[in-house]
Structure 1
Amino acid sequence: MTSFLPRLCCRMPNFISMVLFLLAFSGTSPNALAQDVVEGLKLQLNEAVNDSEKVMILSDLCWEYCFTDPDSALQYAEQMYHLADATHNDYLLAVACNDLGRSFQRFTQYDTALVLYEQAGTLWKEQQDTARYLSIRFKMAIVHNERGYFDEAIKEYQSCLQGFEQLGDTLSIIAALNNLADASLQLGMLSQSRDYARRSLSLCTIPDYDYHKMVALSAVSSYYEEVGKIDSSNTLLAEVIALQRELGMEVEEAISWNNLGYNLNRVAQYEQAFQAFAKCLELSKGVQNTHQIANAHANLGSTLIYLHKPDEALPHFREALAIAKDQDLRVLKKQCYKGLFDVYMMSPRVANSDSAQYYINQHLAIQDTLLNEEMIKEVAQAREKFEADRKEQENRILAAENDLQKTRIESEEQQRIIQWWTFGGVLLLLGALLAVFLIRKRVADRLKEAAWESQRFRAVLRAEEEERSRISRELHDGLGQLLSTARLHIGALKKAVPDEKQTSIHQATGLIDESVQEVRNISHNLMPATLQGKGLSRAVRNMAHRISDSGTIEVTVSDQLESVERSEWDELMLYRVIQEIVNNSIRHSGCTKLDISMKATGSGQRIVVKDNGKGIDPAQMEDSTGMGWSSIRNRIALLGGTLQVERGEGSTFVITIPVRP
């Protein structure tokens, strides 16, 4: 029956990735809320007579509530910020920004937290308070770490580490090294993670540093686990557990027992793994951590399957599944459904193929859902990054064109100065000639530099289009193939699934088909294949067909461009101009019909795009600083053409492009 054994049981996050060090202004550790302390602070707040005193009392209240009642902490922090701002005291305002940023970070409102931390850091830097400035930068690194931006976190941690070393702050150095070890581990930089953790351990030489020693040991243990040295990892985990027990960290100790069980299962020491998971369950129940309780039950069930004890595994999977359903823990539900499938296939007492089929179907359904969500997320992230990079490049090109225009105006002004001095008379001839020589040289240098800049901007545009083409190919050939393969696998399940379950199969197939179509649309928008293979006319027609097929807007195309010969680069530039104008009309004009006319003239090409929307004011368009119109104007200018906008019953855009010599 070994073919029905489950995958390795679910491993909880390593302790080091759960605990990140917040260097607060106070050296107090975040203990449980002491009610007598809070009541005393509230009494002091009521008796305070000035705003400065109130700000500092509110700061203490924020700290006391931060780890136990985040809502109250946020309320006090907001009150504190407004009072500090009214005092016009930079010190108090920096303290308020720190506390308010910490509260927003607790609610995962990271952008707001970063803005407040940045403001606090600027104030501390202006006051030349290096220690507090580094503390703020360290918190910003923690925010990057929590968001999953590990590259940015590592850069910030390294900068803080250098500052802490200059200050000789051993405790902060240890914290920075531990967090660098964690971030490096998240990026798969295993040797770097190990080295940072070992440096931290070398500094943890006194009992006061046991907490940080425990975190560093956990990081090294994770390194050994990743490289397959399970025995070494388990030895260090035993030390971690001992330190956590001494420090009274029951939640974290439960996690470490879970991770120890995970490692023991990897080396087939199932009896010892069962004992480790049982200890995790005992501790988790003691602290009433339902998520950890569910994980422990599921892992106990999986381990019992390894031990060929499916009847004993059944209640554990049911307990875990009940919690997973209540808290909508989809990954845990997937593990439980797989475990229950194994139980009903292995156990002679409860063997039931129908129940087994039900549970494996539930397992596969969640697995497919998670896979689809991950794929969609990756596509969205890739698209967002590409759009941001594209707009940034277009802004740079626009700025460069403005600089070029400014240089031309300056050149014309210098030429007028030259003419004035030329007519100055014979007595000033030598001086005038010298001035002419110097000025013309400067003008020539600027024009040469401007021409070079123009060539560079063309190269940037070309690189941008090449990158679009590359991303288009990768989306089509990579992600598209993966989605198609996933559809084939789901299709293969149809015969094995009862008729009443076919709806789930059809829904999954439909989701994949929608994903495939979305990938194709993104790929085509990035780089239409017809443009490279069959020219501008065919590419524009294909674009029109796609829009018309949506059923909301009718797009017609008429062209007489067969006799016009242009380079692939020029055709691509023209296609981007037409594409941007059409997109603007669809988004902003409210039109229902678009006409695109492309015609060859004696001197070049004339392209007319007309819609029946509400029309656009040409003057407003000229003044627009939006990236879309800037991109259109810049591309037409690079082709040496002109754009004319007419407003009547809708808008008419007339593009005239001359023939290049």
Structure 2
Amino acid sequence: MIGRPQNYFLLAFLCLSFLPALKTYAQNQRSLDSLENIVKSSKSDSVKIIAYGDLCWGYGFVNFDKALYFGNEELRLAKKFNNQESIALAYSDIGNTYTRVNKFKEALENHLKAYTIRDKLGLKVKAVGSLSNIAVIYKQQGRYDEAIEYMTKALKIYEENGEEVKQAIVLVNIGNIYRNYKKSVISKSYFERAILLSKKNNSTSTLTNAYSGMLLYYFEAKNYDQALKYANLAVGLTKSSNNKNDLATIYNSIGQIYFEKGHYAEAMKFYNQSLQFRLFMKDKLGEASCYKNIGLCYSKLKNYPEAEKNINKSINYFIELDAKDYLREAYNNLSKVYEDKEDLEGSLNSYKKSVALKDSIYNKENADKINELQIVYETEKKEQQIKLLNADNKVQKLEVAKRNIMIWIIAGTFVFAILFSFLLYNRYKLKQESKLQAEVIKQQDLATKAVLIAEENERKRIASELHDGLGQMFSAVKMNLSGIAENLDFKDEHDEKMFGKTLNLVDESCKEVRVIAHQMAPNVLLKSGLTAAIRDFIDKIDARKLKINLETFGLNERLDQNVETVLYRVIQESVNNVIKHAKANSLDIQLNKDADGIEAMIEDNGKGFDTSLSENFNGLGLKNIISRVAYLKGSVDFSSEPGRGTLVAIHIPLVA
């Protein structure tokens, strides 16, 4: 609610004899006792009008009866002097008093009277204050669209006038409306803006309301720890101002937080604290809600007699207040209590009452809507008949236009259907082509894999035959020749040397067969992995002719067998190409495995070649490298120039 104007400086000016009392009042947050002394002692009705208004506002937070009494006294004196501005302020004060105890019908009547007077007098800013108060009531009545409309208008004017405290009040109200509208994120932004403005202007009451808004936002988001944080902030501010109405609301909210967390005894403690304030304020709707909540706590604690007693007490209040929606919820809660204590008949009766109330609310709402629609329909029908009688030609033209529009709509629909069908067919065709292409690629991959597997198997077979067949034969020949040499008498030294050379050639041939067999099917690759196999291969190359440096990163674990085999063959082929063609004396090999895949860099300082000439790629060695890398969905890049060496860069993606 938008607060009343601050008139205390005017009081001081009008009544200097009460300066000590006013000073004490200002120092003690405008003490209500001091104001009552002013009313009793002052002979000036103008001073009394102002004091009555401030007393109505002040007691509105702690004592409804006193607040209403002083508000009516303010109105009586204002009417006596026919001071229209003071009359409007009195209506506004009385309206705020009724709002605090949820008597919205009476509150709305008074605020509408205040608005009518202020609008007639051209008091734009004060009229906006009345609109803000009316919007608060619309919010409580569930008329959210109207509430937001009025609040937004008020906010714009307060922003233009730089009234930041009133901006904060309106921001809190808009935030609460959006929260009720289930637009939590938007509501939070309004509460946060209100907190900033309230802190900037040291507005304790507005800051309390903004904290309460954040409390409810986090409660509905089920973030109970954050909700308690803002609840404690709000309680701290409210206790210092002794605002019983706000304390009752906040304690009730804290009780709900503990109830949702399953701490029922703690929840009941806060519900009872809220109830004491409600009783003091004579807020019957608030009292009834507290009794209902306390009853739910007793039910959770399995104290069913107390649960039944408190919920029935709330039901009696709701019946008295004609609060059907609250009454429906209370009957539903009572049904659950009876069910928990295994009183099935009582549970069923309460449930039936809840359903009956729900149906009555639903049927009433529908009846209202149907009546409204019927009135609209009959009105439109009569208006249409008048139009038909007075403008027959116009109606005919409208009919023709409607018919033409219909034709265009049908034609457009037909064209759209054709286009849509074509798009569907085209999409289907593209999908089929994509499937076919995927299958072709799959078959190509399978064929390539089969070729490589067959090649590898053939290598293993040849290696086995070389090692077990030809290798054994060479070993036997060497043994036989060695045996002959022991018994053979050579004619001269030349024959003996020739025989020795022949024996050495047989021995070298035997070693060469083993090397070839090993290169074709290296056992170390199968046993120890890629890095060990490459090192084993490099160690067999004469370092005096070609110095090879190998670096590996991230290859601590074994790779897929196909990947290891292909990479080994590619590096083997690359090294053989360097030995055969590059005339290099230095070769660097680097292998790196990371999340993206495997990178292989093979760089020599040989004579290089022109990569722009296609004939340089006709050799079987380079073709083998390219085809093997392609099989693993990888890429190979050759970087070379005559006289500048060659760099082969290979990337193999790893499939997770």
TM-score, reference length from structure 1: 0.46
Name which structure has the greater RCO, CA cutoff 8 Å, separation 6+. Answer: 1
TM-score, reference length from structure 2: 0.47
Q: Highest CA radius of gyration, 1 or 2?
A: 2
